[in-house]
Amino acid sequence: MKKEIFKGSAVALVTPMDETGAIDYRTLERLITFQLDHGTDAILVNGTTGESATLSDQEKLEVLSFAVKQVKGRVPVLAGTGSNDTVHAAELSKEAERLGADALLLVTPYYNKASQEGLVCHFTKIADSVRLPVLLYNVPTRTGVDIAPETYQRLAGHPGIYGVKEAGGSLSRIAKTAALCGEDFHIYSGNDDQTLAVLALGGKGVISVLANVMPDSMSRMCSAFFAGDLKESRRLQLALLDMMEAMFWDVNPIPVKAALSLMGMGEENYRLPLTPMEEGKKRRLREIMIKKCLHIPKNLL
Protein backbone atom coordinates (compact mmCIF):
# COMPACT_ATOMS: atom_id res chain seq x y z
CA MET A 1 0.00 0.00 0.00
CA LYS A 2 1.42 3.37 -1.00
CA LYS A 3 1.39 5.90 1.81
CA GLU A 4 -0.10 9.24 0.79
CA ILE A 5 2.45 11.98 0.16
CA PHE A 6 0.25 14.34 2.13
CA LYS A 7 -3.36 14.45 3.24
CA GLY A 8 -5.27 17.73 3.13
CA SER A 9 -4.36 21.00 1.43
CA ALA A 10 -1.08 21.70 -0.30
CA VAL A 11 -0.39 25.22 -1.49
CA ALA A 12 0.68 25.67 -5.10
CA LEU A 13 3.05 28.44 -4.05
CA VAL A 14 3.61 31.57 -6.13
CA THR A 15 7.15 32.63 -7.01
CA PRO A 16 7.52 36.24 -5.81
CA MET A 17 9.54 38.55 -8.01
CA ASP A 18 10.92 42.06 -7.80
CA GLU A 19 10.38 44.82 -10.37
CA THR A 20 13.23 43.47 -12.52
CA GLY A 21 11.72 39.99 -12.65
CA ALA A 22 14.32 38.48 -10.33
CA ILE A 23 13.11 36.06 -7.66
CA ASP A 24 12.42 37.87 -4.38
CA TYR A 25 13.74 35.47 -1.75
CA ARG A 26 12.93 37.73 1.19
CA THR A 27 9.26 37.62 0.24
CA LEU A 28 9.47 33.90 -0.52
CA GLU A 29 10.64 33.35 3.05
CA ARG A 30 7.65 35.37 4.32
CA LEU A 31 5.24 33.35 2.20
CA ILE A 32 6.62 30.02 3.39
CA THR A 33 6.45 31.18 7.02
CA PHE A 34 2.86 32.32 6.46
CA GLN A 35 1.96 28.88 5.13
CA LEU A 36 3.61 27.03 7.99
CA ASP A 37 2.00 29.31 10.57
CA HIS A 38 -1.48 28.88 9.09
CA GLY A 39 -1.82 25.13 8.79
CA THR A 40 -0.93 24.22 5.24
CA ASP A 41 -0.36 20.48 4.88
CA ALA A 42 2.28 20.58 2.12
CA ILE A 43 4.05 23.08 -0.12
CA LEU A 44 4.49 22.77 -3.88
CA VAL A 45 7.10 24.93 -5.59
CA ASN A 46 7.72 25.38 -9.32
CA GLY A 47 4.19 24.55 -10.36
CA THR A 48 1.97 26.46 -12.77
CA THR A 49 1.09 28.97 -10.05
CA GLY A 50 4.83 29.41 -9.47
CA GLU A 51 5.30 30.54 -13.08
CA SER A 52 7.50 27.54 -13.78
CA ALA A 53 7.21 28.10 -17.53
CA THR A 54 9.47 31.17 -17.28
CA LEU A 55 11.86 29.92 -14.60
CA SER A 56 15.21 28.57 -15.71
CA ASP A 57 16.31 25.16 -14.43
CA GLN A 58 18.82 26.88 -12.17
CA GLU A 59 16.12 29.11 -10.70
CA LYS A 60 13.83 26.13 -10.13
CA LEU A 61 16.55 24.30 -8.24
CA GLU A 62 17.42 27.40 -6.20
CA VAL A 63 13.75 27.95 -5.26
CA LEU A 64 13.41 24.29 -4.27
CA SER A 65 16.61 24.32 -2.21
CA PHE A 66 15.48 27.51 -0.45
CA ALA A 67 12.05 26.03 0.33
CA VAL A 68 13.49 22.77 1.67
CA LYS A 69 15.82 24.70 3.98
CA GLN A 70 13.03 26.99 5.21
CA VAL A 71 10.49 24.22 5.78
CA LYS A 72 12.94 21.99 7.66
CA GLY A 73 10.79 18.89 7.32
CA ARG A 74 7.71 20.36 9.00
CA VAL A 75 5.53 19.56 5.99
CA PRO A 76 6.29 17.76 2.71
CA VAL A 77 7.85 19.86 -0.06
CA LEU A 78 6.82 18.90 -3.57
CA ALA A 79 8.71 20.02 -6.66
CA GLY A 80 7.28 20.56 -10.12
CA THR A 81 9.78 18.92 -12.48
CA GLY A 82 7.63 18.16 -15.51
CA SER A 83 8.59 18.96 -19.09
CA ASN A 84 7.57 18.07 -22.62
CA ASP A 85 11.07 16.62 -23.00
CA THR A 86 11.20 13.30 -21.16
CA VAL A 87 14.98 13.26 -20.72
CA HIS A 88 14.96 16.85 -19.45
CA ALA A 89 12.21 16.05 -16.93
CA ALA A 90 14.13 13.01 -15.70
CA GLU A 91 17.30 15.03 -15.17
CA LEU A 92 15.45 17.81 -13.37
CA SER A 93 13.71 15.21 -11.21
CA LYS A 94 17.06 13.70 -10.20
CA GLU A 95 18.30 17.14 -9.18
CA ALA A 96 15.15 17.76 -7.15
CA GLU A 97 15.68 14.47 -5.36
CA ARG A 98 19.27 15.43 -4.60
CA LEU A 99 18.13 18.75 -3.11
CA GLY A 100 15.71 17.12 -0.68
CA ALA A 101 12.27 17.27 -2.30
CA ASP A 102 9.77 14.88 -0.71
CA ALA A 103 7.88 14.20 -3.94
CA LEU A 104 7.62 15.28 -7.57
CA LEU A 105 4.77 16.71 -9.65
CA LEU A 106 4.96 15.87 -13.35
CA VAL A 107 2.73 17.76 -15.77
CA THR A 108 1.68 16.11 -19.01
CA PRO A 109 3.88 16.90 -22.03
CA TYR A 110 2.69 20.14 -23.62
CA TYR A 111 2.94 21.46 -27.20
CA ASN A 112 4.33 18.30 -28.77
CA LYS A 113 1.62 16.41 -26.83
CA ALA A 114 1.64 12.60 -26.67
CA SER A 115 -0.61 9.63 -27.29
CA GLN A 116 -1.86 7.66 -24.29
CA GLU A 117 0.92 5.14 -24.99
CA GLY A 118 3.39 8.02 -25.14
CA LEU A 119 2.17 9.25 -21.76
CA VAL A 120 2.75 5.83 -20.20
CA CYS A 121 6.28 5.69 -21.63
CA HIS A 122 7.02 9.32 -20.63
CA PHE A 123 5.92 9.03 -17.00
CA THR A 124 7.38 5.55 -16.58
CA LYS A 125 10.83 6.65 -17.74
CA ILE A 126 10.86 9.62 -15.33
CA ALA A 127 9.55 7.59 -12.39
CA ASP A 128 12.19 4.93 -13.10
CA SER A 129 14.93 7.56 -12.82
CA VAL A 130 14.23 8.53 -9.18
CA ARG A 131 13.32 6.99 -5.84
CA LEU A 132 10.90 9.77 -4.90
CA PRO A 133 7.10 9.40 -5.05
CA VAL A 134 5.64 10.86 -8.21
CA LEU A 135 2.33 12.64 -8.70
CA LEU A 136 1.07 13.13 -12.23
CA TYR A 137 -0.53 16.46 -13.15
CA ASN A 138 -3.40 16.51 -15.61
CA VAL A 139 -4.39 20.01 -16.76
CA PRO A 140 -5.62 19.70 -20.37
CA THR A 141 -6.72 23.34 -20.68
CA ARG A 142 -3.04 24.32 -20.48
CA THR A 143 -1.29 21.39 -22.13
CA GLY A 144 -3.74 20.13 -24.75
CA VAL A 145 -3.25 16.60 -23.35
CA ASP A 146 -5.77 14.65 -21.26
CA ILE A 147 -4.89 11.48 -19.35
CA ALA A 148 -7.57 8.82 -19.78
CA PRO A 149 -8.80 6.84 -16.75
CA GLU A 150 -7.55 3.65 -18.38
CA THR A 151 -4.09 5.21 -18.70
CA TYR A 152 -4.11 6.05 -14.99
CA GLN A 153 -4.92 2.41 -14.37
CA ARG A 154 -1.80 1.35 -16.26
CA LEU A 155 0.41 3.92 -14.52
CA ALA A 156 -0.96 3.11 -11.07
CA GLY A 157 0.88 -0.19 -11.21
CA HIS A 158 4.25 1.56 -11.16
CA PRO A 159 5.69 1.46 -7.62
CA GLY A 160 6.88 5.08 -7.83
CA ILE A 161 3.69 6.65 -9.23
CA TYR A 162 1.47 7.47 -6.28
CA GLY A 163 -1.37 9.47 -7.80
CA VAL A 164 -2.45 12.58 -9.65
CA LYS A 165 -3.29 16.23 -9.32
CA GLU A 166 -6.42 16.13 -11.45
CA ALA A 167 -7.47 19.44 -13.01
CA GLY A 168 -9.40 18.06 -15.96
CA GLY A 169 -12.67 19.30 -14.49
CA SER A 170 -14.76 16.15 -15.04
CA LEU A 171 -16.01 14.56 -11.85
CA SER A 172 -17.36 11.58 -13.78
CA ARG A 173 -13.88 10.86 -15.13
CA ILE A 174 -12.41 11.25 -11.65
CA ALA A 175 -14.98 8.72 -10.40
CA LYS A 176 -14.00 6.32 -13.18
CA THR A 177 -10.31 6.77 -12.35
CA ALA A 178 -11.00 6.03 -8.68
CA ALA A 179 -12.99 2.94 -9.62
CA LEU A 180 -10.31 1.62 -11.97
CA CYS A 181 -7.27 2.40 -9.83
CA GLY A 182 -8.47 1.71 -6.32
CA GLU A 183 -7.24 3.14 -3.04
CA ASP A 184 -3.55 2.75 -3.89
CA PHE A 185 -3.75 5.58 -6.44
CA HIS A 186 -4.17 8.90 -4.64
CA ILE A 187 -6.27 11.59 -6.30
CA TYR A 188 -5.83 15.25 -5.40
CA SER A 189 -8.12 17.95 -6.70
CA GLY A 190 -6.42 20.43 -9.00
CA ASN A 191 -9.44 22.74 -8.89
CA ASP A 192 -10.25 24.43 -5.59
CA ASP A 193 -13.97 24.54 -6.32
CA GLN A 194 -14.11 20.74 -6.73
CA THR A 195 -12.22 19.88 -3.54
CA LEU A 196 -15.13 18.53 -1.52
CA ALA A 197 -16.48 16.53 -4.45
CA VAL A 198 -13.08 14.93 -5.04
CA LEU A 199 -12.75 14.12 -1.34
CA ALA A 200 -16.17 12.46 -1.47
CA LEU A 201 -14.88 10.25 -4.30
CA GLY A 202 -11.99 9.11 -2.14
CA GLY A 203 -9.53 11.90 -2.86
CA LYS A 204 -6.69 12.68 -0.48
CA GLY A 205 -6.86 16.46 -0.71
CA VAL A 206 -6.19 19.44 -2.96
CA ILE A 207 -3.22 21.24 -4.47
CA SER A 208 -4.60 24.72 -4.11
CA VAL A 209 -4.21 28.20 -5.58
CA LEU A 210 -6.43 29.86 -2.96
CA ALA A 211 -4.27 28.37 -0.19
CA ASN A 212 -1.69 31.06 -1.00
CA VAL A 213 -4.13 33.54 0.53
CA MET A 214 -6.27 31.37 2.84
CA PRO A 215 -4.22 28.31 3.81
CA ASP A 216 -6.02 27.79 7.11
CA SER A 217 -9.47 27.69 5.49
CA MET A 218 -8.42 25.23 2.78
CA SER A 219 -6.75 22.96 5.31
CA ARG A 220 -9.78 23.11 7.63
CA MET A 221 -12.14 22.19 4.81
CA CYS A 222 -10.15 19.00 4.21
CA SER A 223 -9.57 18.14 7.87
CA ALA A 224 -13.27 18.59 8.64
CA PHE A 225 -14.14 16.12 5.91
CA PHE A 226 -11.62 13.55 7.14
CA ALA A 227 -12.94 14.00 10.69
CA GLY A 228 -16.45 13.15 9.48
CA ASP A 229 -17.80 16.70 9.78
CA LEU A 230 -19.30 16.89 6.32
CA LYS A 231 -21.51 19.84 7.29
CA GLU A 232 -18.51 22.03 8.19
CA SER A 233 -16.54 20.92 5.16
CA ARG A 234 -19.48 21.77 2.90
CA ARG A 235 -19.96 25.12 4.64
CA LEU A 236 -16.35 26.07 3.95
CA GLN A 237 -16.46 24.88 0.34
CA LEU A 238 -19.49 27.06 -0.35
CA ALA A 239 -18.27 30.02 1.73
CA LEU A 240 -14.99 30.11 -0.20
CA LEU A 241 -16.55 29.73 -3.63
CA ASP A 242 -16.46 33.43 -4.52
CA MET A 243 -12.77 33.68 -3.62
CA MET A 244 -12.03 30.50 -5.55
CA GLU A 245 -13.72 31.95 -8.60
CA ALA A 246 -11.90 35.27 -8.18
CA MET A 247 -8.56 33.45 -8.37
CA PHE A 248 -9.43 32.70 -12.01
CA TRP A 249 -10.82 36.03 -13.16
CA ASP A 250 -7.58 36.26 -15.09
CA VAL A 251 -4.84 33.81 -16.03
CA ASN A 252 -3.38 32.06 -12.97
CA PRO A 253 -1.31 33.29 -11.10
CA ILE A 254 -2.27 36.89 -11.92
CA PRO A 255 -5.23 37.11 -9.47
CA VAL A 256 -3.52 35.30 -6.60
CA LYS A 257 -0.43 37.52 -6.88
CA ALA A 258 -2.76 40.53 -6.92
CA ALA A 259 -4.47 39.25 -3.77
CA LEU A 260 -1.14 38.72 -2.00
CA SER A 261 -0.02 42.22 -2.98
CA LEU A 262 -3.23 43.62 -1.44
CA MET A 263 -2.31 41.80 1.76
CA GLY A 264 1.13 43.41 1.72
CA MET A 265 2.78 40.06 1.00
CA GLY A 266 4.77 40.78 -2.11
CA GLU A 267 4.69 43.03 -5.12
CA GLU A 268 2.45 42.34 -8.08
CA ASN A 269 5.31 41.44 -10.40
CA TYR A 270 5.25 38.83 -13.15
CA ARG A 271 7.34 37.70 -16.07
CA LEU A 272 5.99 38.35 -19.52
CA PRO A 273 3.75 37.30 -21.11
CA LEU A 274 1.83 37.69 -17.83
CA THR A 275 0.78 41.24 -16.95
CA PRO A 276 -0.83 42.87 -13.87
CA MET A 277 -4.51 42.49 -13.13
CA GLU A 278 -6.89 45.07 -14.60
CA GLU A 279 -7.82 47.76 -12.07
CA GLY A 280 -11.54 47.02 -12.32
CA LYS A 281 -11.04 43.37 -11.48
CA LYS A 282 -8.60 44.27 -8.74
CA ARG A 283 -11.19 46.57 -7.11
CA ARG A 284 -13.73 43.73 -7.16
CA LEU A 285 -11.13 41.40 -5.71
CA ARG A 286 -10.39 43.86 -2.90
CA GLU A 287 -14.12 44.04 -2.08
CA ILE A 288 -14.42 40.26 -1.78
CA MET A 289 -11.28 40.07 0.34
CA ILE A 290 -12.64 42.70 2.73
CA LYS A 291 -15.87 40.68 3.07
CA LYS A 292 -13.78 37.64 3.90
CA CYS A 293 -12.02 39.66 6.64
CA LEU A 294 -8.64 39.16 5.03
CA HIS A 295 -6.06 41.58 6.38
CA ILE A 296 -5.39 44.44 3.97
CA PRO A 297 -3.04 47.16 5.25
CA LYS A 298 -4.68 50.59 5.43
CA ASN A 299 -2.37 52.04 2.79
CA LEU A 300 -3.61 49.40 0.31
CA LEU A 301 -7.35 49.86 0.95
Q: Which string of DSSP letters, residue by residue, matches 3-55?
A: PPS-SEEEEE----B-TTS-B-HHHHHHHHHHHHHTT-SEEEESSTTTTGGGS
Q: Is the dihedral of CA 292, 295, 297, 300 positive or negative?
A: negative
137 is catalytic: yes
Burial of 79 (0-12, 13-18, 19+ CB in 10 A): buried
Question: What are the Cα distances from residue 59, in Å, to 22, 25, 33, 76?
Answer: 10, 11, 20, 20
What gap in Å lies between CA 73 and CA 95, rounded to an integer? 18
Q: Catalytic pick from 60, 165, 257, 282? A: 165
Closest to 205 in 3D by CA, of 160, 156, 157, 163? 163
What gap in Å lies between CA 240 and CA 292, rounded to an integer? 9
Closest to 161 in 3D by CA, of 230, 93, 110? 93
What gap in Å lies between CA 159 and CA 2, rounded to an integer? 8
CB 210 within 8 A of CB 256: yes
CB 123 within 8 A of CB 26: no
Q: Catalytic pick from 137, 162, 188, 270? A: 137
292 is catalytic: no
Catalytic site positions: 137, 165
